[in-house]
Structure 1
Amino acid sequence: MTHWNFYAGRGRPWTHVCRSVLLAVALTLAMPLRAKVQIADKGEARCVIVTQPGATPAEHYAAEELAATLKEITGATFELRELAVDAPASAIIVGPGPLAAKLFPEVELSKFGGEEFTMRTKSGRLLLAGGRPRGTLYAVYRFLQDELGVRWYTPWFTHVPKRSSLNLGTLNSRGQPAFAYRDPFWFPAFDGDWAARNGSDSQTARLKEKHGGQVTYKGFVHTFYQLVPPEPNFKTHPEWFALVKGKRVGENAQLCTTDPQLRDFIAERVKAWLRESPDANIISVSQNDHAGACECERCAAVDEREGSHAGSLLELVNYVAERIEPEFPNVMVDTLAYQYTRKAPKTLRPRRNVIIRLCSIECNFARPLEDASNALFARDIRDWHRLTDRLYIWDYTTDFSHYLLPFPNYYVLGPNARFFHRNGVVGLFEQGAYQSFSGEMSELRAWVLAQLLWNPYQDDRKLVREFVEAYYGKPSARFILQHLDFISQAAQPFYVGIGHPDASPYLRFPTLVKAERLWQQAEDAARGVPDHLWRVRQARLPISYLWLSQWVGLQRECRELGAKWPINPSRKNYAAQWLATVNEPGPVGWSPMTLMRESGQKPADFAAQVGSEPDELLYEPPKRRAIAATADDLPENERKAAISVQDDRAIVFREPDCARPVADLAASDGVAIQMTAGPNGARGAMELHGGKLPAAFKPGRYKVYYVARVEAADRAKSNAPAFSARIHDGPAGKYIAERTVRVSETASDYRSYLVGTVELNSYSRLWMGHAHDEAVKWVWFDRAILVPVK
């Protein structure tokens, strides 16, 4: 198996490539009357397309793609010839070979990187060629896209401009993609033809030999237990597995990465894997998707020295990389900088054949990674960049709990791609809704990301506008673009992670009313163009999903605001209509959505879940009264300074089955959030967001109390959990205070429970939930009390 060097020439700044392409375009447009190459005239071909002896399957396919697309543009049929000695006076030379070397001796194609390419005119001929395996294919596709305006927006929608006559001016450009590994990991991006045409070398896309192959991983991610299966190894070698709280653990944890025998075992396993998979470019030796880092003396000493758990992990990975290099000199060993290993080590450096894949999982995706809310991640990427020039990123571009949730990163993707490139990233994996079509704006994100992975310095807002206007039609695009802007702005006060609930603070009743109006206008504007109408209706599904999933709470908000309900008043009928749209027949290459979240909910199951009419009494908001004084069980000095945060500022989860606001005479304002346990592990919960706290709140240090009461059955055990409380710091990416309140600590009247003394900011989240125990009948949350600490 030949392993291509995808890193050759990567140091050349992309801006140089950009300028050359822009110059080429300018010259082409400026000199139509002094054409250097005549391609077609009034629907007749005026040149031939030439391949050369020794051409690879990808180079033959490039010529075929060129001929087929030029025919679509001009209506002309182009002859394909294989020539070695000479070419007609008007010809397009495709790929490296003897003829390219003879006619364009100044272009040293043998020195091109594996994805590097050139577009060059000379004496009536055009050279489209590049390095192997994919350079020539990319030369053809960039020519068609950048010079002729072809766009492959989705696997089922290609824009091909029509021009019966086609003449080229001077072209002289050389380029390559900005990143060596480009994976817009959205379901539409897995189509092999679409991926190749949009410059993706994704390990997941259905790329074949004709596409020039792809980057091929072995193992891909979270491979510790794949390399060292607990069964049977834990019984025979418990010392190979992580020591956690004084005990060796063989499940939902990690390995003891400093154990000498384990290191040798993993090195041999990696060699065996690579012998089984000779096509692999990269092999993953990476931590499991759990916590449970090893705490043994050896591992702890390394991690203490390096200031990060990445220390003991990297020692193992470097060892394996060194051991396999003699037999597999062109294979890279990949590992993660993920959660507890995200922070770079102080002194250790990855070997030259090691890839560090840094993960952005904790970040705020409503804002760019250079925003202050993401300062810790920005620090980590810069620290890793100082240690290695083999830095990859595993980035996250959707809400994995709700693929249909409007995710406000539309205008964050571009700034982030540029930030990655400026900080030495050479591989970028953009994980999105990867399990089926119809994730929220999935087609838009797949295409925009593919363009940015090729060249991150493009205007991402222009890319978004271009796609929306082309795919949905200009009449509808006006309203859809307003929707994208509106959702982006609505989310700005909040820390938006990748597992946000559907009851999100930026997606409340007033927001959805405006979104509904914009989508209705977009749909009305698309009538008369069936393709556009179908696309708009599919793109509208997320807003309809939110109405259904939050129906009772939104009805209550509507009545609290004295507003008019903007959609079908029958949830049953609305759910049936939604499911019919989900399954509406679509174009060839598309199929209906099958999974709505990473954990696997099916649209039909969701529609059945919400396919009944709620009791309208649940829509009535309970009556509030004037707020009583701060809780009497606090010290007097704390009561005077306290900020009271009422339950009406909270987001309620699993309403109405497990939680809802109810009238409660004992509550300070006559209303509390009542929570209980539900089936299949469900439970009621609520959350307060820093962006919705009272005006008196200022970022700083506070004692945080939750005022709550509990009704437990006689059979409830005194040490059983009654409710859980925790506080999350968005920028820190972690919980900074947690408390489990047990039945013995509770009472049937309201008490103040100290959750912690913590630093709060506008991105803090204050959560409370029922503890699942059915013997705890009800938990009521009245309010939170914030006491400033000087």
Structure 2
Amino acid sequence: MRLRIWLCLIVSSVASLATTPVLTISKDNQIPIVLPDNPTESERYAASELKHHLHGMLKIKPRILLYGKRDMTPAIHIGLTELAKRNIPGCQSLGSEEWVVKTAENCLILAGGRPRGSLYAVYEFLESVGVVWPSPAIEHMPVLNEITVAPCDLRGKPAFVSREVYSGFSRPTPELRKWQVRNKLNTPSDLSPAMGGSFHSGRPGSCHTFWQYAKDEWPDEWFSMTEDGRRVRSLGGDGPGQFCLTNPELRKAMIERLREFIELDRQESEPDFWPVIYDISQNDSEDNIYCKCPGCRALAEAEGSYSGPMLDFINAIANGIAADYPEIYVRTFAYSWTLDAPRTIKAAPNVIVQICKLGCEFFPNGKADTLFPNVHPRNKNYHDNFIKWSEICGNMAVWDYWVIYTKPFQPPYLSALNIREDLRFYRDRNVKFLFAECEYNSTSSFADFKLWYGLKLMQNPDSSYDELALRFCQAYYGPAAKLMKEYMDYLQERENAADVSIGAATIFEMPHTNAKCANVKNILPYLDEQFFEKVNFLLAEAENLTQRYPQYLNNVRKERVPVDACLVNNPASVTADLYQRYADNSRFRTEICYGPINPYVYRPEVVQNTLDSLEKKEKILFDADFAVPSRFAGREVVLYDCTKVSGKIIYDDDAYKGKAALLREVDKPGYHLLPLSMGVRNKLHRKDICRFTYDAGQIPQDEKYHWFNLGKCSLQETAYLWVHWSTFLRCGIDNAMLAGSEWEVFVSVKVTGKPYVNHSTAKTQILVDRIILAR
């Protein structure tokens, strides 16, 4: 195959109209790669990346030379060689990620600002000749006879300064980091100087950092006060406590803590890689234990939101370091209880406000509809609030969500066109820092596409959806590209036509029960019979086309998992054959994402947990001999074992099947208190449906498991059972509504140690091994 490159890259550019080739790269013309005489590590890495891909496409191994040792033949110049400097006006002022692709003096120049510009120029060139990196496991390189380069003069840079799509892949393997850098994700803190370094946050972390600023010796008065006057400390990223934001002594201590973190960072890296953003943001506490002291409450009431005390707090810290560190920004959240903009307080010039498009599945704090664009009527509240924030803050960041949470499984959805519209919205309103959550890679629709596509749009939100989707499908699905692109388009067509809020919708996982589940359609309205008929046809045809190509076939099979997840959780449709297909593909997809099949992330515990879950699912669906505990003989029951509870699973000989969920162990005063409380709560409205407290005299003293009866409950959507005031032990129980809403609720709890058990010498612990709903 012969390829002539116009280098029509996806950027604003000025290109020559001439068509006379400048140079041709082939086996017969293996032109060298030339570097500056003193290249940076990133420029050397860029040359190795270009050589690697030219070998993959043309089966050549070009020489890599320093400028002073070059010959005078045509060459590819990487970085600001003397030839590049002569031909790029203003080259010394290029931004850190600004790149140039230009022909001059019979050479191709791939250069840019330091540290990442020249590396990005190489990737722009490679993508223009058909290279695609659709996932960490795939390098797609076309096989070519030659590459012919026509005259060009192109320049660009990513639309957003900071770009991150959080995939949930936590293991930083070389394959994962290569994929991220090639697609210009620039935030992982461990990116080496060779890979261009990273635009990451400084110590102690990138979000929910209150607890990391706190010191054990800090007085209780510096932490948030509850309605009843108690002070609750920060124990972790999920709280439960926050800070007392108006306390003047705390503000002084926070300034000193920030200075400590800045200096530690500067001791460990070169100036080019010093962090310039430091995060100080609220803990992710679901119960909103923000400070109710008179000072914080008064400022919140005056500003109409707790964002008032928060922004005043952050401004004080930012002003406290501005003189000594004028280049540093302090970032905080507009999130949850600080989401709404304050009435009068404005952000200091060195403050970044990161607004979160928190989905309506987290109502009342989340009000946005994640899968609809910002300009849609469903998102008027978020849109108007964003505009208010942008009027009082000159440095806006966004924490976006491209996934739906709080669902027991991921139904088919994509919303790629809406993502593009939102990124244009943010770009046009001067947002410079963009983060998006996009997890559930082993279970959601087109997961790899969404990650890749999102990073492409962060570089240029004006990119064509159709062009990007087709490019991805050809690299990822091979001969089934057209069919899989048709499925992508059809899925979004059905989503948009239905105009339904997936976040606010309720879908249930089938419960483990001996009761007959209602014959209801436990799926979203657009996922109707017509949808499944068409999609199963497209997937079957795609599987047929890829039978001889295992990699492409495997990628097609992944898309069956979210489709079949809906069907096996629908009482009206589940069959043994359907379940077997779902189980096989779920196992396979989990191993692809987390197992040794895939070199870029290996988490064996995730694979095993999935296998265990599938085994339990099979029993739930097909076990006719459902074992009812003797205490509940003759009754209909729904059973939840400890694996459904949020605590740490440990082995315990006393527990049901030898395992129990253990309450998080926190060695802080006031964590274990009497009375012991537990109940059932509506997560959506943050209200208890029922609540019970137990003093020492009501708690069994034998340190064994006992059933606690929480009484009869009328279950509501989003209901969960909780044990301990922190609610760190919890279990969703609303899927029992598939078999009816009226149940008597029991939880099997073991309590050891003081203050719960008088005269005990055992370690203080709370464990749950089972939850039973009975009637």
TM normalised by structure 2 equals 0.72
Match of 2:231?
248
Matched, 1:216 2:200: yes
Matched, 1:261 2:261: no
| Secondary structure of 2:333 counterpart | strand
Q: Which of residues 131, 136, 159 in structure 1 aligns to 2:140?
A: 159
The answer to whether the 8 Å contact 2:241/2:289 transfers is: yes
The answer to whether the 8 Å contact 2:712/2:744 transfers is: no
Match of 1:387?
392
Q: CA deviation at 1:529?
A: 1.4
- Name the CA distance, whole Å, in 1 between partners of 2:628 and 2:535: 26
Count the aligned residue pairs: 626
Question: For each residue in 1:344-388, what CA deviation from the matched residue of structure 2 results, as whole angstroms up to 9, or x when unmatched?
Answer: 222222222221111112221232222111111111221122222
Query: Which sits farther off after the overlay, 149-158 or 538-547?
Result: 538-547
Note the 1:477-496 alignment, pairs <5 A: 477-479=482-484, 481-482=486-487, 485-486=490-491, 489-490=494-495, 492-496=498-502
- Name the CA distance, whole Å, in 2 between partners of 1:751 and 1:679: 19
Matched, 1:611 2:629: no
CA gap of 1:87–1:322, structure 2 versus 1, over 3 A, is farther
Query: Which sits farther off after the overlay, 242-251 or 288-297?
Result: 242-251
Match of 1:313?
310
Question: For each residue in 1:181-200, what CA deviation from the matched residue of structure 2 results, as whole angstroms up to 9, or x when unmatched?
Answer: 00021156962211111111
Matched, 1:117 2:99: yes
Q: Which of residues 599, 603, 615 in structure 2 aligns to 1:589?
A: 599
Note the 1:63-462 alignment, pairs <5 A: 63-84=47-68, 88-101=72-85, 103-104=86-87, 106-146=88-128, 148-187=129-168, 191-203=176-188, 207-217=191-201, 218=203, 219-229=205-215, 231-233=216-218, 236-251=219-234, 252-278=240-266, 279-290=274-285, 291-362=288-359, 363-401=368-406, 404-433=410-439, 440-462=445-467
| Secondary structure of 1:428 counterpart | strand
Q: CA deviation at 1:722?
A: 9.7
RMSD across aligned positions (CA): 4.1
Q: Which of residues 494, 506, 524 in structure 2 aligns to 1:506?
A: 524
Query: Which sits farther off after the overlay, 374-383 or 175-184?
Result: 374-383
The answer to whether the 8 Å contact 1:90/1:125 transfers is: yes
- Name the CA distance, whole Å, in 1 between partners of 2:311 and 2:691: 41
- Name the CA distance, whole Å, in 1 between partners of 2:153 and 2:325: 38
Structure 2: which amino acid aligns with 1:107? P
Question: For each residue in 1:396-432, what CA deviation from the matched residue of structure 2 results, as whole angstroms up to 9, or x when unmatched?
Answer: 1223455754344333221121122122211111112
CA gap of 1:403–1:216, structure 2 versus 1, over 3 A, is farther
- Name the CA distance, whole Å, in 2 between partners of 1:485 and 1:143: 32
- Name the CA distance, whole Å, in 2 between partners of 1:601 and 1:108: 56
CA gap of 1:606–1:547, structure 2 versus 1, over 3 A, is farther
Match of 2:540?
520
The answer to whether the 8 Å contact 1:723/1:771 transfers is: no
Structure 2: 5+ residue runs without aligned partners? 1-7, 235-239, 267-273, 360-367, 510-521, 630-634, 646-676, 693-709, 717-736, 749-770
| Secondary structure of 1:374 counterpart | helix
Q: CA deviation at 1:472?
A: 1.2
CA gap of 1:604–1:777, structure 2 versus 1, over 3 A, is closer
| Secondary structure of 1:379 counterpart | helix
Q: Which of residues 519, 530, 543 in structure 1 aligns to 2:563?
A: 543
- Name the CA distance, whole Å, in 2 between partners of 1:681 and 1:196: 37
Structure 2: which amino acid aligns with 1:221? C
TM normalised by structure 1 equals 0.70
- Name the CA distance, whole Å, in 2 between partners of 1:91 and 1:202: 32
Match of 1:740?
689
The answer to whether the 8 Å contact 1:572/1:613 transfers is: no
Structure 1: which amino acid aligns with 2:93? K
Q: CA deviation at 1:676?
A: 5.7
- Name the CA distance, whole Å, in 2 between partners of 1:449 and 1:748: 47
Structure 1: which amino acid aligns with 2:465? D
Q: CA deviation at 1:76?
A: 3.0
| Secondary structure of 1:365 counterpart | coil
CA gap of 1:333–1:530, structure 2 versus 1, over 3 A, is same
Note the 1:573-722 alignment, pairs <5 A: 575=583, 578-579=586-587, 582-583=590-591, 589-590=599-600, 602-612=609-619, 614=621, 678-680=640-642
Match of 1:714?
none
Q: CA deviation at 1:324?
A: 2.2
Q: Which of residues 48, 51, 55 in structure 1 aligns to 2:35?
A: 51
Q: CA deviation at 1:602?
A: 2.3
| Secondary structure of 1:478 counterpart | helix
Structure 1: which amino acid aligns with 2:111? A
| Secondary structure of 1:213 counterpart | coil
Question: For each residue in 1:33-90, what CA deviation from the matched residue of structure 2 results, as whole angstroms up to 9, or x when unmatched?
Answer: x11x21324x223532211123211011112222332233333332221124986251
Note the 1:550-565 alignment, pairs <5 A: 550=569, 554=570, 556-558=571-573
Structure 1: which amino acid aligns with 2:104? K
- Name the CA distance, whole Å, in 2 between partners of 1:261 and 1:63: 53
The answer to whether the 8 Å contact 1:178/1:454 transfers is: yes
- Name the CA distance, whole Å, in 2 between partners of 1:466 and 1:113: 29
Q: CA deviation at 1:535?
A: 1.6
- Name the CA distance, whole Å, in 1 between partners of 2:644 and 2:24: 65
Q: CA deviation at 1:453?
A: 0.7
Q: CA deviation at 1:245?
A: 4.1
CA gap of 1:586–1:416, structure 2 versus 1, over 3 A, is farther
Q: Which of residues 464, 473, 476 in structure 1 aligns to 2:478?
A: 473
Q: CA deviation at 1:328?
A: 3.1
Q: CA deviation at 1:122?
A: 1.8
CA gap of 1:403–1:572, structure 2 versus 1, over 3 A, is closer
- Name the CA distance, whole Å, in 1 between partners of 2:586 and 2:682: 36
The answer to whether the 8 Å contact 1:156/1:589 transfers is: yes
Match of 2:671?
none
CA gap of 1:439–1:207, structure 2 versus 1, over 3 A, is farther
Identity of aligned residues (%): 23
Q: CA deviation at 1:95?
A: 1.0
Structure 1: 5+ residue runs without aligned partners? 1-15, 559-564, 619-654, 659-663, 665-673, 684-719, 729-734, 753-766, 781-790
The answer to whether the 8 Å contact 2:565/2:582 transfers is: no
The answer to whether the 8 Å contact 2:137/2:600 transfers is: yes
CA gap of 1:92–1:721, structure 2 versus 1, over 3 A, is closer
CA gap of 1:298–1:601, structure 2 versus 1, over 3 A, is farther
| Secondary structure of 2:502 counterpart | coil
- Name the CA distance, whole Å, in 2 between partners of 1:198 and 1:120: 21
- Name the CA distance, whole Å, in 2 between partners of 1:369 and 1:525: 39
- Name the CA distance, whole Å, in 2 between partners of 1:197 and 1:40: 22
- Name the CA distance, whole Å, in 2 between partners of 1:120 and 1:295: 60
The answer to whether the 8 Å contact 2:745/2:773 transfers is: no
